[in-house]
């Protein structure tokens, strides 16, 4: 079984990223980058599938600049077999990313595409569902448990008010939620081994221009700082004064 894992390079989710003063972009000076946390979970899940079933092969792919090699190496160190960098500096929106990934899927013919539900830089939460639509594949978003079998995958997924279990015939697409697993710590042998694993580069296969363009970035208005109260009584009085409680 072949599993394709698309990953995105994003700013460290714990870093405080601010817009540039003129609103033209983000101030990324001194910010570290990492694999999008949801994609790291997808890589981890694929590796666990491989550990249970040796016939699983894992291809990690990313669309981005040359520096994205760093994140693909990390995916290889975690246990992916092969990595592909679709190298570009073009501005892309989820529609263009999905088109690019669809072209790659048609070329590689994976059984499962396993990817993050959202990239924590732009928080779009679109690419997986778009890709599944383009391919005409069934999808299970927000997966919290993935159980592959012969010709199908059972996915437990999170919903607004609980959860559900879906049965998808392969080929299919799955997006990960945080609770699917906890990615492993990468030990030194993995990092060394990753250096000799294949990482190939390709050019874009499609030429869609973005239809969603960013005009301006700004910091959200700060909430007017409040005040501290000294006791529960004071708190209850303040809430009454503000008209929040009767």
Partner 1 sequence: MSHLLLIAFDGADAIQGARFAQALDLPFDIIQLTGEAVTDLGARRVLTFGLPSLPPADFLAHALKDLVNESTHIAAVSAMRSKDVLPRLAGLLDAPMVTDVLKIVSKDTFVRPMLAGSVLATVQVSGSPILMTVRPAGFPEAVRSGSSEVVHTKPQFAGTTRRVSASAKQGGRPDLSQAGVVVSGGRPLKDADTFERLIGGLADHLGGAAGATRAAVDSGIASNELQVGQTGKVVAPNLYLACGISGSTQHMAGIKDSKVIVAINTDGDAPIFEIADLGLVMDLYEAIPQLMEKMPKA
Ligand X SMILES: Nc1ncnc2c1ncn2[C@@H]1O[C@H](COP(=O)(O)O)[C@@H](O)[C@H]1O
Ligand Y SMILES: Cc1cc2nc3c(=O)[nH]c(=O)nc-3n(C[C@H](O)[C@H](O)[C@H](O)COP(=O)(O)OP(=O)(O)OC[C@H]3O[C@@H](n4cnc5c(N)ncnc54)[C@H](O)[C@@H]3O)c2cc1C
Does 18 participate in binding partner 1 (rule CB under 8 A)?
yes
Residue 2, classified by CB atoms within 10 Å of its CB into exposed (0-12), middle (13-18) or buried (19+), is middle
Q: Could you tell me if 110 and 4 are in contact, meaning their C-beta atoms sit under 8 angstroms apart?
A: yes
Interstrand relation of 18-19 and 26-27 (parallel, antiparallel or unpaired)? antiparallel
CB of 239 to ligand Y, least distance (A): 18
**Total interface residues for ligand Y by CB under 6 A:** 3
Does 144 participate in binding ligand Y (rule CB under 6 A)?
no
Q: Could you tell me if 60 and 35 are in contact, meaning their C-beta atoms sit under 8 angstroms apart?
A: no
Compute the distance between CA of residue 11 and CA of residue 163 in angstroms, rounded to an integer: 30
CB of 37 to ligand Y, least distance (A): 4
Q: Which of 74, 68, 55, 82 is nearest to 1 (CA)?
A: 55
Does 229 participate in binding ligand Y (rule CB under 6 A)?
no
**Total interface residues for partner 1 by CB under 8 A:** 81
**Total interface residues for ligand X by CB under 6 A:** 21
Does 65 participate in binding ligand Y (rule CB under 6 A)?
no
Does 125 participate in binding ligand Y (rule CB under 6 A)?
no
Does 37 participate in binding ligand Y (rule CB under 6 A)?
yes
Nearer to partner 1, 14 or 89 (CB): 14
Binding mask 177-196 vs ligand X (x if CB under 6 A, - otherwise)?
A: --------------------
Does 169 participate in binding partner 1 (rule CB under 8 A)?
yes
Residues 94-153 that bind ligand X (CB under 6 A): 94, 97, 115-116, 118-119, 122, 124-128
Nearer to ligand X, 65 or 163 (CB): 65
Nearer to partner 1, 22 or 161 (CB): 161
Q: Which residues contact 184 (CB under 8 A, 6 or more apart)?
A: 44, 47, 78
Q: Could you tell me if 60 and 3 are in contact, meaning their C-beta atoms sit under 8 angstroms apart?
A: no
CB of 62 to partner 1, least distance (A): 19
Long-range CB pairs of 101-108 (<8 Å, 24+ gap) are 101/6, 101/61, 101/63, 101/127, 101/131, 102/131, 102/134, 102/135, 103/205, 103/206, 104/4, 104/61, 104/205, 105/4, 105/131, 105/135, 107/205, 108/2, 108/4, 108/59
User: Which member of 57, 88, 120, 170 binds ligand Y (CB under 6 A)?
Assistant: 120
Q: Could you tell me if 34 and 58 are in contact, meaning their C-beta atoms sit under 8 angstroms apart?
A: no
Does 165 participate in binding partner 1 (rule CB under 8 A)?
yes
Chain contacts with ligand Y (rule: CB under 6 A): 13, 37, 120
Chain contacts with ligand X (rule: CB under 6 A): 6-8, 36, 38-39, 62-64, 94, 97, 115-116, 118-119, 122, 124-128
């Amino acid at each position: 079984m072949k599993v394709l894992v698309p990953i995105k390079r994003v700013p460290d989710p714990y870093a405080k990223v601010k817009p540039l003063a003129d609103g033209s972009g983000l101030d990324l000076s001194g910010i570290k980058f990492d694999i999008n946390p949801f994609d790291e979970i997808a890589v981890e899940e694929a590796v666990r599938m491989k550990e249970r079933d040796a016939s699983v092969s894992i291809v990690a792919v990313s669309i981005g600049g040359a520096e994205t090699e760093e994140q693909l190496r990390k995916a290889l160190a975690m246990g992916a077999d092969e990595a592909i960098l679709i190298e570009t500096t073009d501005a892309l929106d989820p529609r263009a990313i999905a088109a690019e990934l669809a072209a790659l899927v048609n070329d590689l013919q994976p059984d499962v595409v396993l990817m993050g539900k959202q990239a924590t830089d732009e928080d779009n939460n679109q690419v997986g569902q778009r890709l599944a639509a383009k391919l005409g594949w069934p999808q299970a978003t927000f997966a919290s448990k993935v159980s592959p079998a012969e010709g199908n995958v059972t996915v437990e997924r999170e919903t607004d008010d609980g959860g559900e279990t879906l049965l998808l015939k392969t080929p299919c697409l799955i997006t990960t939620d945080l609770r699917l697993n906890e990615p492993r710590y990468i030990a030194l042998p993995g990092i060394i081994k990753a250096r000799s694993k294949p990482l190939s580069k390709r050019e874009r296969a499609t030429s869609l221009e973005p239809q969603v363009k960013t005009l301006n970035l700004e910091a959200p208005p700060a909430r007017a700082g409040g005040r501290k109260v000294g006791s529960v009584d004071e708190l209850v009085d303040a809430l009454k004064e503000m008209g929040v409680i009767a």
